[in-house]
Amino acid sequence: MDKELDRLAKENAPLPIGLPAYKQCYYISARGLYQQYAKGEITLERARLEKKELLSAYKEGEWEWSYFLKLHELKGHLQQLSQDSFNSVLEYEILEMIETLLK
């Protein structure tokens, strides 16, 4: 988890520009939790429980983002292979990428 993002959420700072969607969701949710706790609208126990859920969603989003980037790279290799007709080195790299993604 990004400690800087958490610090900014505690400070009620504006949403940083250019964050991936999963980081935006975490930031906005964490900022809301900190504000609710500071106003006494939720207990510390509830804030901790909900932050635990946020961290779980953050980790899942981080994994999904990484997976998406790997799929995007694979698509580029497949397009190149389609243009080159035959390239055994590229074919081997593509097979390795597919194997990694399917694990």
What mean pLDDT, rounded, does the chain reach?
A: 89
Q: How confident is the model at residue 12 (pLDDT cuts 50, 70, 90)?
A: very high
pLDDT of residue 30: 96
pLDDT tens, residue by residue, 63-75: 999 988 888 888 7
Long-range contacts for 56-60 (Cβ within 8 Å, ≥24 apart)?
57/22, 57/25, 57/26, 58/1, 58/22, 58/23, 58/25, 58/26, 59/1, 60/22
Taking the whole predicted model, whether its pTM rises above 0.85 is answered as: no
Share of residues in the chain with pLDDT > 70 (%): 94
